Structure 1
Amino acid sequence: MKILVQNLQKRDNLATELFEEHDPDLMLLQEINIHSETHSFPASNVSSIGYGTAIGSKFEAVTDIKYIQSPYAEFGGVIHKKTTIATVNTVQFVSFHGYNGQPFKKKHKLVAHIEAVLAELIPTGPAVFAGDFNTWSKEHLKAVKVKLESVGFHLAYSWPYPGRDDPLDHAFLRGMELQSSKNYECASDHRGAILELRLVNGTS
């Protein structure tokens, strides 16, 4: 299974362009501008003006769709980061855009966002938890890893953010094997990732 993970920076029609360029089986998208896209996305958790997260699938039906927002608001107590969850071919997928956990913020608020998402997942079975975790803090990322590892995930891939030594974007897997990975540049300020995955002891 070929997975594309991308923060789109609200760029017009960028998800559609990346779908046509890279031909992924599934897309996990953050900061989508849903009203600008010509490609349809069956699961999208967006604001009234169309910004948020989405999951798109090329072949399989998308089921068990759930929409989560971060328990804590940011930017003046108004904005809650949005997360989309869906199941495709028995695998749970999470398109995650994390609470803004920069060092001036409290890491427990980012961890609380992770916990809110995990509460909606089936606690066992294959899953992909990927996206923009919104922090360069090693301390915050360590706390995220501890929480996700406690329920069977492992950090499979992190990819660079332009001009920074530490990444914002990560992919955690459970019951899935990473066969190959690469990252690419596009019109967004984030690089995107393409992951080739297969079920543990299973098929791609």
Structure 2
Amino acid sequence: MSEFKENIATFARQFVPSYRFIRTHESTLGNSHELQTELKPHSIKVLTWNIAKNNFEKTWFKDFYRILRQHQPDLIFCQEVRMGVGVEQIIGFNKLSWAYAPNFIDTHHQTYSGILTAANISPLSKKAIVTKHYEPLVNTPKVSLITEYSLSHQHKTLLTINSHLINFVDLSKFKTQLQEIELALSTHHGPIIFAGDFNTWNRQRAILLDKAVTKLGLQSVEFAPHESKKIKRFLLSPPLDYIFYRGLTERSASAKVLDEINSSDHKPLLAEFSYVDM
């Protein structure tokens, strides 16, 4: 691993100007549309997708609108989303309420990169958690985005966290990010959805993730074997993308991986939940 990190650092010095990627002072950006006031607890459709910064490409727009039309997700968690600096809207999400947490600015393209959570309703609150450690090459942190939503006719709220976990660092830094997320979620006593790209490309990372979600009482959405094999991996590694949940009921046979979508090297993951207040 140390030799790999040294090679990354050498590449960074040779090919990436130190001034190109800069950290941003904005913690969250957003846009609100009051299309409805509460999530309907009998059916909460969830999409998570690392779009690999392709949301300025025509092929991505075609794929994204196809997903919206066919599957009508209520909650959308996207990682690696680009947004123009000084632009108040992200094309494709203009009819949704969205919250965006950037982790750096690409000065060459004048774009943010970050994670985005979108829904048919506005969040009650939103908060970004920025890692204290930085990835090599771009020397920027990773970010998670917490949003909270009302549930129809329920006293409790749904807490969601959209995460992209840190990469190309030693295991202790990966563990630190997970501990920060654990702390943020530990005070919420209602239902939770935790989704994103967890960069679990080896067994050690996957074990740490499993310990963290188990501690929080979360369980993973179960994909059928023929669906699971479509999820992004590195060679024979565990999956990189997950949807975890607590306090919800997973709709049987709802979990799908959209293998026909090719505008990113990650496939979109879909799941559906219901909620009954006990």
Count of equivalent residues:
198
Pair 1:114–1:84, CA change in 2 (3 A): same
Alignment pair present for 1:137 and 2:202: yes
CA shift, 1:162, in A, is 6.3
Greater share of strand: 1
* Larger deviation, residues 5-14 vs 91-100: 5-14
Q: Any unmatched runs of 5+ in structure 1?
A: none
- What does residue 111 of structure 1 align with? 175
Q: 1:153-195, CA deviations, whole angstroms, 9 ceiling, x for partnerless residues?
A: 1222464116744311011111122212001132110011111
Judge conservation of contact 2:182–2:212 (CA < 8 Å) in 1.
no
- What does residue 274 of structure 2 align with? 198
Q: Aligned partners of 2:172, 2:234: CA distance in 1, in Å? A: 27
Q: What SS does the aligned partner of 1:113 have?
A: helix
Q: What SS does the aligned partner of 2:184 have?
A: coil
- What does residue 68 of structure 1 align with? 129
- What does residue 165 of structure 2 align with? 98
* Aligned positions of 1:43-192 closer than 5 A: 43-46=99-102, 47-48=104-105, 49-58=111-120, 60-76=121-137, 78-89=139-150, 90-100=157-167, 105-121=169-185, 122-157=187-222, 159=228, 160-161=231-232, 164-165=235-236, 166-179=238-251, 180-185=254-259, 186=261, 187-192=263-268
Q: Tell me which structure has the larger Cα radius of gyration.
A: 2
- What does residue 6 of structure 2 align with? none
Q: Aligned partners of 1:33, 1:51: CA distance in 2, in Å? A: 5
User: Please, what TM-score do these two structures have when normalized by structure 2?
Assistant: 0.65
Pair 1:37–1:164, CA change in 2 (3 A): farther
* Larger deviation, residues 24-33 vs 69-78: 69-78
Task: Report sequence identity in percent.
Answer: 23
* Larger deviation, residues 147-156 vs 162-171: 162-171
Q: Tell me which amino acid in the other structure corresponds to 1:125.
A: G
Judge conservation of contact 2:195–2:243 (CA < 8 Å) in 1.
yes
Alignment pair present for 1:3 and 2:74: no
- What does residue 19 of structure 1 align with? 68
Judge conservation of contact 2:221–2:271 (CA < 8 Å) in 1.
no
Q: Tell me which amino acid in the other structure corresponds to 2:144.
A: T
Q: 1:42-85, CA deviations, whole angstroms, 9 ceiling, x for partnerless residues?
A: 21001332211010002x22121001112211114721111111
- What does residue 31 of structure 1 align with? 80
Q: What SS does the aligned partner of 2:180 have?
A: helix
Judge conservation of contact 1:27–1:56 (CA < 8 Å) in 2.
yes
User: Deviating runs (4+, > 4 A) in structure 1?
Assistant: none
Pair 1:163–1:147, CA change in 2 (3 A): closer
Q: Aligned partners of 1:111, 1:92: CA distance in 2, in Å? A: 22
Judge conservation of contact 1:6–1:190 (CA < 8 Å) in 2.
yes
* Larger deviation, residues 127-136 vs 33-42: 33-42
Q: Any unmatched runs of 5+ in structure 2?
A: 1-43, 85-89, 106-110, 151-156
